[in-house]
Structure 1
Amino acid sequence: MERFDDIIIGAGHNGLTAAAYLARAGRRVLVLERADHVGGATVSATPFPGVPAHLSRYSYLVSLLPREIITDLDLDISLIRRRYSSYTPMPTDPTRGLLVDNADESATAESFRRITGDDTEFASWQWFYGRMGEIARRVFPTLIEPLRSREELRDLVAGATRPAGLDTSLAELWEMLTERPLGELIERYFADDVVRGVVATDALIGTFADLHDARLRQNICFLYHLIGGGTGDWDVPVGGMGAVSGALYEAAVAAGARIVTGARITGIDPADGTVEYARSAQAASSPSPLVEPADPAASRSSPLVEPAASAASSRVETTLRASMLYVACAPQSINDCLDVPLDVESDTAGAQLKINMLLNRLPALRDGSVLPDAAFSGTFHINESYGQLHAAWQQASIDKVPSVPPCEIYCHTLSDRSILGPELAGCHTLTLFGLQMPPAVFDAPSATSRAVEATLDSLNSVLAEPIQSVICTDAHGNPCLEAKTPQDLEAALGLPGGNIFHRSLQWPWAPDRDAVGQWGVETRHPRMLLAGAAARRGGGVSGIPGHNAAALVLEG
């Protein structure tokens, strides 16, 4: 039986992060991946036949990846900061809209004035996001440290541990953010329905909740979306998301990690570190792992990739043993292989409709005062006012496709054109993310086509021309458009209920006194750690769970 120091289950970006750290420390590391490529949800793909457009198929922006991980692993990753934060057409009058320009405060103030009539909301916006920036700068560095207690993190945020003393405004904001439903906070600081909606959307990305939900799931999602990098900025990865997982793959392989794709786990014994997996002869004889399938960095052959198996066998079964095991996939996907399942709740599902498009040009807006290049390069909010978000939640709660689906769009190619072939000059990608869309919405016959149609109608309500009129066609004459429901994400990526976070996001502090000083990756099995999004301080494209699982072992 072959033995390793570490066996990592899942070759998404978190599993690759853990592999790179562990292998660089001289440990013998094996990564097992069910798919025929590495990267998980952090991949680039060419979904449209005959069209050289390498889209970030699932995840698409980077905020939570700490600079320390990029530096530690010598990752060749470039991120582009977006000048425009967001553009939001008025749902009742799309000839006017709110444009938030990070480089021009006076222009942003004028845009607020144009839709609200005075300077009150802009002043509240500046104060609120200034305070949230302070929280981000203080909380984000703690995500790659051992867990602090709730009280310690509160004191860090409010300044009780610093010579200047308590910052009462931060203390009050932190208390509302972590103890009261987010809707109360938003309603306290903002009055305009559209502005409230722009603030609220960060609480509902992949999270199905009412803003007044007493469980505060929306609050936790909001916090993570606003603390990334210590600034809350969401950056564009040059080369697409495949460049991120490709760089991590290269780092892991260069350090000596061995990667096996097409490996289906059939048995795990956490007590002695035994792992059993099966691999079809076809998978075993395939070339090196690919990043779905368009990242050249990850397609180079490597002797550290599992060698070909005999074609005479229809299935290759292997048993291995390691000192430590790491779950970098959704825990629910391996629980059937465990006598005692991992104690990770799975009562929440995803809540999104993802639509990828390729356009021959950007569509014209009904708001003639804003250039499409500015509107689409940030986050373009569509029918996401506060009232519309609540109405969509109400309809989806009874398993109906919202009549006016709230959604948001961004255009990768306005920041980085490297993902398009030279023959696509002038073309642009659009990534649409629909909110308040849990799996049950898509269960009825034809529900997906109805949801896509309703979502495109929602988008068209703020455009001067139908989006369908500018969508490219592929080699077969079909529109360059693909939709991904929660069911699709579960089938393709093993995400339970299509939950992009694997489970409900967790507060970034220790859940109890006994967990203070732990890493948030521990499980009931001492030799098995969480190294994926289900870890405490998981979710998003961060590498944080992989870093923290490796840190526990290497520093412990």
Structure 2
Amino acid sequence: MKEIIHSSYDVVIVGGGHNGLVSASYLSKAGLRVLVAEKNAYLGGATVSKKVFPDYEAYLSVYSYLISLFPQKIIQDLQLSLPLRSRSISSFTPFTENQSHKGLLISNTSEEVTRHSIEALAGAKEYRGYRKLLAMEQILADTIWDSFLQPLQSKKYFEKQFVTAQEKAIWQSFVEEPLGKTIEAHLHHDILCGAVFTDAKIGVFTHPYDESLLQNRTFLYHIIGNRTGEWKVPQGGMQTLLNELTRAATLYGATLVTNALVNQLNTGGKQHTLSIEYAGKIYEVQAKYVLLNAAPQVLDKLTGRKQESKDEDEGAVFKINMLLKKLPNLKNTTVSSTDAFTGTFHINEGYQQMKQSYEEAKSGKLPAILPAEIYCHTLTDTSILSPNLVAQGYHTLTLFGLDTPYSLFAGPDEKVISHEALKRFLAGLNEFLDEPIEACIALDSLGNLCLEAKNPLDISLELSMPQGNIFHNALSWFFSEHKQEEGTWGVETDIERLYICGSGAKRGGAVSGIPGHNAAMKVLELEGRL
């Protein structure tokens, strides 16, 4: 029988996540012989969709949910069919004031709704400050977005693009100074400050005045996508992206193999040799180029080097996936459940609340009040549910918890702490509901809640993401940070012809395909095919 895995390829890609499939598509389209070796039984990595609750025809995007950073250029280059739907509501932030339940509603379709909500919260001056901040973000996005698919330029090169006094102030605000200073210069109400700052905390452990500016870098990735920063729902869930990339890579001739574990990598002068365990056999495969669609620390493991991580690489995400039999009603009767849950539903994400929760977690304690945000994608796209579930009013709900750093769960009390975190997150949501969320969650055939919780340790073990960091490591700046990086693609390693094509590359992170594109461009550049 003809073997699926051959002894030699132009390129072997270790890992079949979305970035690896982007690389495979570009490289095979250019005529190179490409093998993608994925250790799991499925492709997709963190973009995989699953029937999480077997009793129901509901396919949840388990780890990742929205798309903003995936460039239209990649979609066009690879001829992907990837319909993205806008959410009519950007966000809703419930809060209590003088024992009264209120809320901040930010619309994606009506500026009047947004203006009225902000002015009711804190007056016309606050709304003007918010609009000015958005305008600054837009100029930043317009200036730097295209560079993400180009070789790296120096920090000084980009700084020179900001010419006018207004533009220089934008550079200073987002690149040179802690984001907290910028937010506080334009906004004053705790709720609106928190709603803005939450984009700087998603997935990482940081605070407004973090001297490392990790918060600035994280914020940047949440506001510049395709120049609009709008986070959209992929029709059919993340599985649509995965299916399209799989189709493209296969169409162009790449070989995609699952249950194929790369357990050793020997680097060489002209060829690298990989040891791949597949179907009960060990295959020795040679490749001119190797692309790693995994965290950079995995490269150290494969080559037998010491694995190292920095403090800022620590992940801080707690995820809860739920299937609801109905949407819950709110204590705030001035907004419908549909409007409240269509966008990002912020829980305990006031500016001061997040400062407090950060300090508590930093001291090694699980915060008493945990910040979180919730997504209900089925209010924008019902196609991940069967028609029967749609007719009955079922919905999916995903909670994305903050300030739960990996270190809190890395000890012997992991399960106890994880259970307590789950209780606190649900309690935080219930503070704003007219009925407990537990009463709205569907039950499986055994009477158990259709609820799945994953702490950073779970994410680390399931996805090989060091310290549970969903971005593989701390997000990078959009410019070269060292002289030797100028003109590179940001995917290079200290090993010749071995490149990072996953989120851990420069300008990687989130569901973007950007490092997959850039690693492919690096290879095609060397091959003289650009």
1:17 equivalent to 2:16? Answer no
Matches within 5 A, 1:469-548: 469-548=439-518
SS of 2:224's equivalent?
A: helix
On the 8 A contact 1:34/1:264 being kept in 2, the answer is yes
On the 8 A contact 2:175/2:216 being kept in 1, the answer is yes
Change (3 A) 1:28 1:344: farther
Match of residue 222 from structure 1: 219
On the 8 A contact 2:193/2:350 being kept in 1, the answer is yes
SS of 1:36's equivalent?
A: coil
Aligned-pair CA distance for 1:476 = 2.3
Which piece of structure 1 moves more, 36-45 or 341-350? 341-350
Match of residue 127 from structure 1: 132
How far apart are the structure 1 equivalents of 2:330 and 2:66?
24
Match of residue 431 from structure 1: 398
Change (3 A) 1:233 1:347: closer
How far apart are the structure 1 equivalents of 2:444 and 2:305?
48
Aligned-pair CA distance for 1:149 = 0.8
On the 8 A contact 1:86/1:381 being kept in 2, the answer is yes
SS of 2:195's equivalent?
A: helix
How far apart are the structure 1 equivalents of 2:130 and 2:389?
39
SS of 1:413's equivalent?
A: helix
SS of 2:217's equivalent?
A: helix
On the 8 A contact 1:495/1:502 being kept in 2, the answer is yes
Match of residue 237 from structure 2: 240
1:98 equivalent to 2:104? Answer yes
Aligned-pair CA distance for 1:79 = 0.4
Match of residue 3 from structure 2: none
Matches within 5 A, 1:434-453: 434-442=401-409, 443=411, 444=413, 445-453=415-423
On the 8 A contact 1:270/1:527 being kept in 2, the answer is no
What is the letter of the counterpart of residue 191 of structure 2? Answer: V
Aligned Cα root-mean-square deviation (Å)? 1.5
How far apart are the structure 2 equivalents of 1:453 and 1:336?
36
What is the letter of the counterpart of residue 396 of structure 1? Answer: A
SS of 1:325's equivalent?
A: strand
Matches within 5 A, 1:264-343: 264-271=261-268, 272-279=271-278, 284=279, 315-340=280-305
How far apart are the structure 2 equivalents of 1:192 and 1:274?
58
SS of 1:135's equivalent?
A: helix
On the 8 A contact 2:7/2:283 being kept in 1, the answer is no
How far apart are the structure 1 equivalents of 2:338 and 2:316?
29
1:371 equivalent to 2:336? Answer yes
On the 8 A contact 2:236/2:384 being kept in 1, the answer is yes
What is the letter of the counterpart of residue 373 of structure 1? Answer: T
How far apart are the structure 1 equivalents of 2:94 and 2:310?
39
SS of 1:381's equivalent?
A: strand
Aligned-pair CA distance for 1:346 = 7.6
Question: What TM-score results when the alignment is normalised by the length of structure 2?
Answer: 0.94
CA displacement, residues 361-410 of structure 1 (integer Å, 9 cap, x when unaligned): 11111111111111111111111000000111011112222111100011
Aligned match for 2:41, one of 36, 40, 46: 36
Aligned-pair CA distance for 1:548 = 0.2
On the 8 A contact 1:263/1:278 being kept in 2, the answer is yes
SS of 1:326's equivalent?
A: strand
For these two proteins, the number of residue pairs brought into alignment is 513
On the 8 A contact 1:270/1:325 being kept in 2, the answer is no
What is the letter of the counterpart of residue 76 of structure 2? Answer: T
CA displacement, residues 285-322 of structure 1 (integer Å, 9 cap, x when unaligned): xxxxxxxxxxxxxxxxxxxxxxxxxxxxxx31010001
Question: What TM-score results when the alignment is normalised by the length of structure 1?
Answer: 0.90
Matches within 5 A, 1:101-180: 101-116=107-122, 118-156=123-161, 158=162, 160=163, 166=164, 168-180=165-177
On the 8 A contact 1:342/1:524 being kept in 2, the answer is no
Aligned-pair CA distance for 1:155 = 2.4
How far apart are the structure 1 equivalents of 2:195 and 2:45?
30
How far apart are the structure 2 equivalents of 1:506 and 1:513?
15
SS of 2:289's equivalent?
A: strand
Match of residue 414 from structure 1: 379
On the 8 A contact 2:96/2:102 being kept in 1, the answer is no
Aligned-pair CA distance for 1:146 = 0.7
On the 8 A contact 1:94/1:462 being kept in 2, the answer is no
Q: Percent identity?
A: 41
On the 8 A contact 2:150/2:489 being kept in 1, the answer is yes
Which piece of structure 1 moves more, 543-552 or 392-401? 392-401
What is the letter of the counterpart of residue 413 of structure 1? Answer: T
CA displacement, residues 330-389 of structure 1 (integer Å, 9 cap, x when unaligned): 122242221456887586221011111111111111111111111111111111000000
On the 8 A contact 1:196/1:385 being kept in 2, the answer is yes
On the 8 A contact 2:140/2:170 being kept in 1, the answer is no
How far apart are the structure 2 equivalents of 1:94 and 1:410?
24
On the 8 A contact 2:214/2:312 being kept in 1, the answer is no
What is the letter of the counterpart of residue 402 of structure 1? Answer: P
On the 8 A contact 1:12/1:38 being kept in 2, the answer is yes
SS of 2:243's equivalent?
A: helix
SS of 1:82's equivalent?
A: coil
What is the letter of the counterpart of residue 533 of structure 1? Answer: S
How far apart are the structure 2 equivalents of 1:55 and 1:109?
34
What is the letter of the counterpart of residue 142 of structure 1? Answer: S
How far apart are the structure 2 equivalents of 1:228 and 1:155?
22
1:201 equivalent to 2:201? Answer no
On the 8 A contact 1:355/1:431 being kept in 2, the answer is yes
Match of residue 88 from structure 2: 83
CA displacement, residues 499-553 of structure 1 (integer Å, 9 cap, x when unaligned): 0011111101011222211100011011100100000000000000010000111
On the 8 A contact 1:529/1:549 being kept in 2, the answer is yes
How far apart are the structure 2 equivalents of 1:336 and 1:113?
54
Aligned-pair CA distance for 1:182 = 1.4
What is the letter of the counterpart of residue 447 of structure 1? Answer: I
Aligned match for 2:179, one of 158, 182, 204: 182
CA displacement, residues 150-196 of structure 1 (integer Å, 9 cap, x when unaligned): 1111222x2x3xxxxx2x22211221211221111111111111111
How far apart are the structure 2 equivalents of 1:94 and 1:536?
46
How far apart are the structure 1 equivalents of 2:77 and 2:311?
33
CA displacement, residues 206-239 of structure 1 (integer Å, 9 cap, x when unaligned): 0101221101111100011111111110000000
SS of 1:322's equivalent?
A: strand
How far apart are the structure 1 equivalents of 2:189 and 2:311?
36
Aligned-pair CA distance for 1:91 = 4.2
